[in-house]
Structure 1
């Protein structure tokens, strides 16, 4: 009887050890603004970067400012249209963008607050750019087909569509780059994007060839270990980072708020609710997954902290833009393995880099 009891107990303990439900203990959390929702738009890049800038203002001044994501979106739509038409249609046009597009827009057009520009016609309405993007695309394609000389009013027509769906922009009070620097202590030129890919030399900057990099932004290339080390260093020093990542994996779950890479294919479903072993991610595997299109830049978010599960595994606390009812109160807990494999890049303050990396990059 005793032997049976001991055997059953040992089996139970073994099974429990390998199938524990996730329990997260926060080990680092940096203050950020509340979770918002991009709704029916492909503008995660603006929500990610705007949240990042709001956190930077909090870090620098202790002040909470609700910036308008859609003010930047509208301005970038104008830049995209100009780029598409002048490249004679041989360029990306759509809703997507990257973190550096928000920084570029802030330098060029400034920022504004949510109360100043909602970016929608009805205050209580939802963001929905599906029909707007269709109409905008028709205009730029027509401008290319006819040439700007044959369609001289294309920019006016384009702005009319933006006004119809997003509201007029005239008269909006802006926060210029100079005001950001003076009043909020933010120098927009102090921010860089880092990444890790083997097809470019390390410690150099290059233009990453991904579809949404329509503005040809530069990325600083690091080894994979150093890429992760600098993210950790930033968080440990109280800096948040804006993240560009692939979320197409079935093990990125908006329902459970978990993003992991299972070691075993048989754990793809169970790992979303139970702690399971994860794959070891090498630079070679990361590169291969990028080159075969299994890793793509399809979503941008905001890393605001770190946590551990009851086994001591580390996760990044990632603020998403799918609303507070998604994930875990709007946040995703992303494992180190997932970040090593699926993070395209991060935007961060150059002072958040480790001293050796900063020196190696000449910053």
Structure 2
């Protein structure tokens, strides 16, 4: 009799939990891993999430490696990347994307060539500005480049490079060669070295079946103008690598699709409900989620339902009131309470990460020994 009573109690407790989950009881998150990160800021009216997310990641790396809290200049990287984008666009005679977008490895490439600087040394804002807006600047540069590509003088002028740099100087500021920080003099290269940021230590991972697993390949997505390579892992190994990194105290940069109705910055949640018609309801409270296989992930990528929309910074893990696991992801859309619920963070479900992540960038020491061996690091 006692056993029967116990079973009945357990059954009704389980039924109550299931019913609550299916009726969208509000999310209650409990952080499980919450790694150090600098405060959330806004990328303004720009498409430079790639620089904001990866700069945030490097700020966490600097604190992990040195114990120092540094606010890096996102715009220093942007300023040094536009001439490279411009050259790619011109030399491909306009048959390439010229936009504000980029990827995490573009920041690492910039560190390798141009170093790092703190935001106090290079804000990318005019004295009267307090918010980034690159719409006019990008339109001006592209119009210039298109004119040079049309070649009205019959011979491509070599003036286009200094012309692009002049525009960037006006809108973002001139390039730095030396600056003072905390009463010390640095070059951008010596500052990166002092912060212990060494570009060779960082790797990009992805998971798609068009290339062999455990090899590197160039991922053909529009923002990969620099032809960056990614190590390709099976989906389960890709997800395990994210978990391993967080467990070891390493954060990651994330490139993902945020175009789904079930991604809500306002509610601070990103999920993949089992019933797609429940997308808007699913951001209000937990629902059963779709199981994401490698093939389904691939199909959604190849039919363009999954695209590289946005980059963010993975800083931890959490669980909801039913024990479901989520990744804690730092966004760069500010902390306005009308736009975000959790101070600029998003709680992203495992299903969402499995389906909508494009890639991650991490320190190579965050990899497990078995994965590092398989990809020959």
Aligned equivalent of 1:330: 344
- Distance between the aligned counterparts of 2:16 and 2:33, measured in 1? 33
1:184 aligns with 2:195: yes
1:169 aligns with 2:181: no
Provide structure 1 residue ranges, at least 5 long, that are not aligned to the other structure: 1-8
Change (3 A) 1:85 1:54: same
Of 107, 123, 131, the residue aligned with 1:102 is 107
Q: Deviations over 1:132-168 (max 9, x none)?
A: 1100101111111118944332222222221222123
- Distance between the aligned counterparts of 1:91 and 1:228, measured in 2? 32
- Distance between the aligned counterparts of 1:279 and 1:184, measured in 2? 42
Asked if the contact 1:120/1:166 (under 8 Å) is kept, the reply is yes
RMSD of the alignment, in Å? 1.9
Of 67, 71, 76, the residue aligned with 1:66 is 71
Asked if the contact 1:35/1:321 (under 8 Å) is kept, the reply is yes
Secondary structure of the residue aligned to 1:118 is coil
Q: Deviations over 1:61-85 (max 9, x none)?
A: 1100111000100110111011111
Change (3 A) 1:14 1:262: closer
Change (3 A) 1:200 1:171: closer
Of 25, 29, 42, the residue aligned with 2:30 is 25
1:55 aligns with 2:60: yes
Q: Deviations over 1:22-55 (max 9, x none)?
A: 0000000110111010010000000011000000
Bigger drift between 290-299 and 320-329 goes to: 320-329
Aligned equivalent of 2:304: 293
Asked if the contact 2:111/2:192 (under 8 Å) is kept, the reply is no
Secondary structure of the residue aligned to 1:268 is helix
- Distance between the aligned counterparts of 1:197 and 1:18, measured in 2? 32
- Distance between the aligned counterparts of 1:88 and 1:322, measured in 2? 34
Aligned equivalent of 2:330: 319
Aligned residue pairs, count = 355
Q: CA deviation at 1:180?
A: 2.6
Q: Deviations over 1:79-114 (max 9, x none)?
A: 101111122222221100000000001110111110
- Distance between the aligned counterparts of 1:157 and 1:209, measured in 2? 30
Change (3 A) 1:209 1:163: same
Asked if the contact 1:177/1:188 (under 8 Å) is kept, the reply is no
Change (3 A) 1:13 1:227: closer
Aligned runs of 1:129-144 on 2, under 5 Å?
129-144=134-149
Aligned equivalent of 1:249: 260
Aligned equivalent of 1:117: 122
Asked if the contact 2:326/2:350 (under 8 Å) is kept, the reply is yes
Aligned runs of 1:8-19 on 2, under 5 Å?
15-19=19-23
Secondary structure of the residue aligned to 2:333 is coil
Secondary structure of the residue aligned to 1:134 is helix
Change (3 A) 1:315 1:148: farther
Aligned equivalent of 2:366: 352
Bigger drift between 24-33 and 171-180 goes to: 171-180
Of 44, 47, 58, the residue aligned with 1:39 is 44
- Distance between the aligned counterparts of 2:97 and 2:17, measured in 1? 54
- Distance between the aligned counterparts of 1:164 and 1:179, measured in 2? 25
Provide structure 2 residue ranges, at least 5 long, that are not aligned to the other structure: 1-11, 180-185
Of 149, 154, 166, the residue aligned with 2:160 is 154
1:258 aligns with 2:272: no
Aligned equivalent of 1:225: 236
